[in-house]
Amino acid sequence: MTFNRRTFLSSLAATPVVSLVSPAAQAQTAASVALPPVLHSFSIGEARVTVLLDGHLPLPSQIFAAYDEEKAKVALAQGLHRMTPEGLNIPVNGYLVEIGEEKILVDAGTADLMGPSLGGLGRALAATGVKPAEIGTVLLTHMHPDHSGGLVAAGGKAAFPNAELVVSRTEWGFWHDDAIMASVPEESRGFFLMARGTVAPYADRLNLFDGEAAVAPGFTALPLPGHTPGHSGFMLDAGAEQLLFWGDVVHSVALQFAYPDWTIAYDTDPALTAETRRKMLDRAASDNLLLTGSHLDFPGLGRVLRQGEAYAYQPAPWQFGL
Ligand SMILES: [Zn+2]
């Protein structure tokens, strides 16, 4: 593993943890108005995929290590994206995948961990008619709270009581390593405690995978390290069509297709994150992959086009009856 502890520590030291999960944000959650269910379904071969919007998250410009005001202005204008006073608002997408009798969730949203602009995945799932108890497998791209927070229901119980939790062994080991946790700045330890808390109810039904393992019917894991040590995508082969769930390869459609080297403070290993992103973008463009991402503009389905030294995102249009 090319994980580098020093880069992790320096990136976490610069991480504005408070802006992500503050007590104030948590306190607001209870009083906030619930987001309406937002979801979008489409077919991929034999699979039915429903994108479940958890909500949105602001990325302040300071979070990008190489942020350049002028370059950003041009890229934002070209892509019709707007910088709000809070930052660039990016979606948090999770997924229900139905193949035959199997009901699989890819990432679980935030539940009440990250404030009032998020936490809608449960309501979106309810709107599909599928009950949490029917989910047989949860595939987790990584153990950040916008992906694993929704694994836990009120009272600390598993939100998906019959699901096996599938996550990279590297990812699991990293967040459960007491020595690493002890060595990060105190204000960053909350990430470790949160990660552990969200997966704890599944400790007796875990599937920890290594490398490019087959992890569920139709799904193969794809290691995409950097953002976190065990960050992984999942390739769905549904017969006639394939779809790559690439997790957090890109956080900002507006900026990171044009500037793939613009890492963010939450990247564990920034250099590896940029390298993985460039490799993945190159492969996606070369292979004309259909893909979806946790933070690609909702509903987050599209492909990658080459544009000079960089790339562009081609979102699939909203389509009916598919
Ligand atoms: Zn994320």
Sequence ranges of the domains in the chain? 5-315
Per-residue confidence (pLDDT) for residue 321, from 0 to 100 = 63
CA dist 159 and 100 (Å) reads 23
Per-residue confidence (pLDDT) for residue 188, from 0 to 100 = 87
- Looking at the DSSP assignment, which residues form a beta bridge with residue 55? 92
CA dist 305 and 285 (Å) reads 5
Residue 26 reports pLDDT greater than 60: no
Mean pLDDT along residues 269-289: 98
For residue 144, the 8-state DSSP code is S
Residue 12 reports pLDDT greater than 90: no
Residue pLDDT, tens place only, 141-171: 999 999 999 999 989 999 999 999 999 999 9
Give the residue among 242, 304, 64 at the shortest CA–CA distance from 316: 304
Mean pLDDT along residues 259-282: 97
Residue 4 reports pLDDT greater than 70: no
Distance from Cα 144 to the centre of ligand 1, integer Å: 7
CA dist 288 and 304 (Å) reads 7
Per-residue confidence (pLDDT) for residue 320, from 0 to 100 = 75
Confidence bin at 19 (pLDDT 50/70/90): very low
Distance from Cα 19 to the centre of ligand 1, integer Å: 15
Distance from Cα 294 to the centre of ligand 1, integer Å: 6
Distance from Cα 46 to the centre of ligand 1, integer Å: 27
- Average pLDDT, rounded, for the chain: 90
Sign of CA dihedral 39, 243, 222, 13: negative
Distance from Cα 154 to the centre of ligand 1, integer Å: 22
Distance from Cα 72 to the centre of ligand 1, integer Å: 21
312: its two tokens? 């562009």
Residue pLDDT, tens place only, 204-246: 999 999 999 999 999 999 999 999 999 999 999 999 999 999 9
Residues 40-54: b if buried by 16+ CB within 10 A, e if exposed: bebebeebbbbbbbb
Residue pLDDT, tens place only, 83-94: 999 999 999 999
For the beta carbon of residue 250, count every other beta carbon within 10 angstroms.
Answer: 24
CATH class of 5-315: alpha beta
* Percent of the chain whose pLDDT exceeds 70: 89
Per-residue confidence (pLDDT) for residue 33, from 0 to 100 = 61
Residue 318 reports pLDDT greater than 90: no
**Total-model pTM:** 0.90
Is residue 317 classed exposed, middle or buried when 0-12, 13-18 and 19+ CB atoms within 10 A define those classes? exposed
Residue 15 reports pLDDT greater than 50: no
Distance from Cα 259 to the centre of ligand 1, integer Å: 18
Mean pLDDT along residues 39-57: 96
